């Protein structure tokens, strides 16, 4: 029988975790998480890791399995997740894939572009220059080393030019390989031994935003401030360059008042949810459902695809 990867995507706080557990119980299978923030065991509250009860309701993989001190890339995740899928498909025809990290979802569904191994000394040198010279340094380097890709980002994805982690990676590949970053993109994608069934969960923007605001309040009540305080010493690590922690680090640095930091978390999470939807909506194979849709309708849709395959 064919193997099916039932993939659940959508913006943050929309209810993907609850749906994934319901589907895992329906199809008696495991869940693979591709939320890039939930990999790290030191980050729990601010990444909305599923509760103990939720984790016990279905077998999960790739949740809090790494440390913030690990250098873990999307390429590493692709290799590990595909190996896990191969293992799970030996005994089951179904696996659930769930998460809001579009790049990581695509890495599983389509394969990730293959990049060369880069000497760690190159990475450290670029990071040191960035810390001294700022984001302008990275932008200028990319413009010089890969002008076509810089122009593409300027037109299609300008916010990436302000993302130091992504920009350091682009420059690192250019410098370490001696080739433009863009020369490694859109190579022949890998064949997959499963059929993806893509389910998108959405709601009106005002509803998404209200759910995000509520989730942030819940995180704060559960101890997000203390969790961020414990991680403050390591604020420069890549894993911690994320919404919910960065803003609180600015509070600890006396750059923000706590009230402003909280509002920034909510605002930046809302912006993130908008980018998530933009990314996922590009895939025309995704079937979108309102977040209040009866789960039996979603199950019927999935079952129909399976029976017709």
> Do 92 and 124 belong together in one domain?
no
271 part of a folded domain: yes
CB neighbours of residue 143 within 10 Å:
15
* C-beta separation of 247 from 256 below 8 A: yes
What is the torsion angle, in degrees rounded to the nearest 10, for the CA atoms of residue 32, residue 38, residue 39 and residue 41?
-130
262 part of a folded domain: yes
pLDDT band at 184 (very low <50, low <70, confident <90, very high): confident
Query: Is it the case that residue 191 has pLDDT exceeding 90?
Result: no
59 part of a folded domain: yes
Domain termination site, one of 184, 204, 239: 184
CATH number, residue 202: 3.40.50.300
Q: What mean pLDDT comes out for the span 184-210?
A: 90
Q: What is the pLDDT of residue 81?
A: 97
> Do 218 and 295 belong together in one domain?
yes
- For the annotated binding site for substrate, the residues are 12-17
Which structural domain, as residue segments, surrounds residue 74? 4-113+195-307
Cα-atom radius of gyration of the chain, to the nearest Å? 20
189 part of a folded domain: no
* C-beta separation of 13 from 78 below 8 A: no
* C-beta separation of 62 from 3 below 8 A: no
212 part of a folded domain: yes
> Do 260 and 240 belong together in one domain?
yes
pLDDT tens readout for residues 124-168: 999 999 999 999 999 999 999 999 999 999 988 888 899 898 999
217 part of a folded domain: yes
> Do 211 and 293 belong together in one domain?
yes
> Do 109 and 249 belong together in one domain?
yes
Q: What mean pLDDT comes out for the span 235-259?
A: 95
Q: What is the pLDDT of residue 187?
A: 67
> Do 8 and 144 belong together in one domain?
no
Return the ∠ at Cα 168 (arms to 256 and 276), rounded to 5°: 65
Domain termination site, one of 128, 154, 184: 184
pLDDT averaged over every residue in the chain: 94
Q: What is the pLDDT of residue 34?
A: 94
Q: What is the pLDDT of residue 188?
A: 65
Q: What is the pLDDT of residue 147?
A: 95
pLDDT band at 114 (very low <50, low <70, confident <90, very high): confident
- For the annotated binding site for ATP, the residues are 10-17
The predicted model scores a pTM of 0.81
pLDDT band at 189 (very low <50, low <70, confident <90, very high): low
> Do 88 and 234 belong together in one domain?
yes
Instruction: Tell me the torsion sign for CA atoms 66, 189, 85, 197.
Output: positive
> What span, in angstroms and rounded, lies between the C-alpha atoms of 116 and 180?
12
210 part of a folded domain: yes
- For the annotated binding site, the residues are 10-17
> Do 169 and 201 belong together in one domain?
no
The total domain count for the chain is 2
Domain termination site, one of 160, 184, 208: 184
Q: What is the pLDDT of residue 23?
A: 98
> Do 99 and 29 belong together in one domain?
yes
> Do 142 and 43 belong together in one domain?
no
Q: What is the pLDDT of residue 75?
A: 84
> Do 208 and 95 belong together in one domain?
yes
Query: Is it the case that residue 17 has pLDDT exceeding 90?
Result: yes
> Do 156 and 28 belong together in one domain?
no
Query: Is it the case that residue 235 has pLDDT exceeding 90?
Result: yes
190 part of a folded domain: no
Q: What is the pLDDT of residue 1?
A: 74
């Amino acid at each position: 029988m064919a193997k099916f990867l039932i993939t659940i995507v959508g913006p943050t706080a929309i209810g993907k975790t609850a749906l994934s557990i319901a589907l895992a119980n329906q199809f008696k299978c495991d869940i693979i998480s591709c939320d890039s923030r939930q990999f790290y065991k030191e980050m729990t509250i601010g990444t909305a890791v599923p509760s103990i009860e939720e984790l016990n309701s279905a077998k999960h993989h790739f949740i809090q399995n790494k440390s913030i001190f690990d250098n873990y890339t999307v390429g590493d995740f692709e290799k590990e997740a595909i190996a896990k899928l191969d293992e799970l498909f030996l005994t089951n025809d179904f696996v659930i894939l769930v998460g809001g990290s579009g790049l990581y979802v695509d890495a599983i569904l389509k394969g990730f572009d293959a990049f060369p191994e880069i000497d760690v000394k190159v990475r450290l040198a670029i990071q040191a220059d960035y810390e001294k010279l700022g984001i302008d340094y990275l932008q200028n380097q990319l413009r010089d080393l890969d002008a076509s890709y810089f122009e593409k980002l300027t037109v299609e994805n300008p916010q990436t030019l302000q993302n130091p982690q992504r920009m350091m990676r682009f420059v690192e590949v250019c410098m370490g390989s001696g080739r433009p970053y863009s020369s490694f993109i859109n190579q022949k994608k890998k064949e997959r031994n499963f059929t993806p069934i893509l389910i998108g969960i959405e709601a009106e923007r005002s509803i998404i935003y209200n759910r995000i605001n509520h989730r942030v309040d819940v995180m704060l009540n559960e101890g997000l401030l203390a969790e961020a305080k414990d991680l403050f010493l390591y604020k420069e690590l890549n894993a911690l360059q994320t919404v919910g922690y960065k803003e609180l680090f600015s509070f600890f640095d006396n750059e923000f008042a706590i009230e402003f930091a909280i509002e920034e978390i909510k605002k930046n999470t809302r912006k993130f949810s908008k980018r998530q939807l933009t990314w996922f909506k590009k895939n025309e194979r995704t079937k979108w459902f309102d977040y209040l849709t009866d789960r039996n309708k979603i199950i019927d849709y999935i079952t129909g695809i399976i029976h017709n395959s």
